[in-house]
């Protein structure tokens, strides 16, 4: 609309529409031809169309830039959230790693205790076997009937005790194997 008004003003100025009656007689000699006015009008129309096209393309470009900015902002927010989640996950992993390390230390202490117990049980078993052998030898060589019966009972008790000791030793070895497997799992 403004462009059309500008064109109308230009045409009136050229035709002398704003001039006074006294000047109109003088300016009639200098009036532009219709072809010149048409060419001028065509140029003004082309110029206004170009301006309108530039305005629309600029508006479209601004809309695209605005969309790109909003996408970038959402990407930045999402990246920030991902970073926070990664930091939280890292803290959780560190805590679990410390817990596993503490468990490993506890398992190692328990394994050492079990090894000490197995060694002590083996020593006791060896001592019991030695005593049993000594008692059997003493019994066979010199003890009369009643003492011999008591000694035989003691020997039976000692043999049962040795069996029990052997069973405990096997249980401890199984526990050590299980403990070693748990340590291997935790290391992996």
C-alpha–C-alpha distance, residues 186 and 14, integer Å: 97
- Domain count of the fold of the chain: 1
Q: Supply the range of the domain harboring residue 123.
A: 32-187
Residue 8 domain-assigned (yes or no): no
Residue 167 domain-assigned (yes or no): yes
Least confident of 9-18, 31-40, 176-185: 9-18
Residue 93 domain-assigned (yes or no): yes
3-state secondary structure (DSSP) of residue 74? helix
Residue 15 domain-assigned (yes or no): no
CB 180 within 8 A of CB 111: yes
Place of tokens 């040795």: 162
3-state secondary structure (DSSP) of residue 153? helix
Residue 24 domain-assigned (yes or no): no
Residue 21 domain-assigned (yes or no): no
Q: What is the pTM of this model?
A: 0.41
C-alpha–C-alpha distance, residues 16 and 95, integer Å: 91
Q: Which tokens is 125 given?
A: 């078993």
Residue 137 domain-assigned (yes or no): yes
C-alpha–C-alpha distance, residues 94 and 88, integer Å: 10
State pLDDT tens for residues 116-157. Answer: 888 888 888 888 888 888 877 776 776 566 677 777 888 888
C-alpha–C-alpha distance, residues 53 and 41, integer Å: 18
Where do runs of H (alpha helix) occur along 16-33? 21-27
State pLDDT tens for residues 56-115. Answer: 999 999 999 999 999 999 999 999 999 999 999 999 999 998 988 888 888 888 888 888
Residue 117 domain-assigned (yes or no): yes
Look at residue 22 in the predicted model and tell me its pLDDT. Answer: 46
Look at residue 74 in the predicted model and tell me its pLDDT. Answer: 94
Query: Which residues, at least 6 apart from 99, have a Cβ–Cβ distance to it below 8 Å?
Result: none
């Amino acid at each position: 609309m403004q462009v059309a008004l500008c064109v109308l003003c230009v045409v009136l100025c050229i035709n002398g529409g704003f001039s006074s009656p006294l000047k109109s007689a003088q300016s009639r000699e200098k009036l532009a031809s219709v072809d010149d006015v048409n060419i001028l009008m065509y140029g003004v129309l082309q110029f206004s169309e170009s301006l309108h096209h530039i305005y629309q393309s600029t508006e479209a470009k601004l809309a695209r830039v605005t969309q790109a900015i909003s996408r970038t902002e959402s990407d930045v927010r999402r990246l920030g959230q991902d970073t926070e989640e990664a930091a939280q996950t890292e803290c959780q992993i560190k805590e679990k790693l410390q817990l596993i390390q503490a468990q490993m230390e506890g398992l190692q202490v328990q394994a050492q205790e079990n090894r000490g117990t197995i060694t002590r049980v083996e020593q006791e078993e060896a001592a019991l076997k030695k005593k049993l052998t000594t008692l059997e030898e003493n019994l066979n060589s010199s003890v009369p009937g009643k003492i011999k019966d008591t000694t035989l009972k003691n020997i039976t008790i000692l043999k049962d005790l040795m069996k029990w000791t052997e069973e405990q030793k096997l249980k401890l070895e199984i526990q050590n194997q299980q403990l070693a497997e748990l340590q291997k799992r935790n290391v992996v």
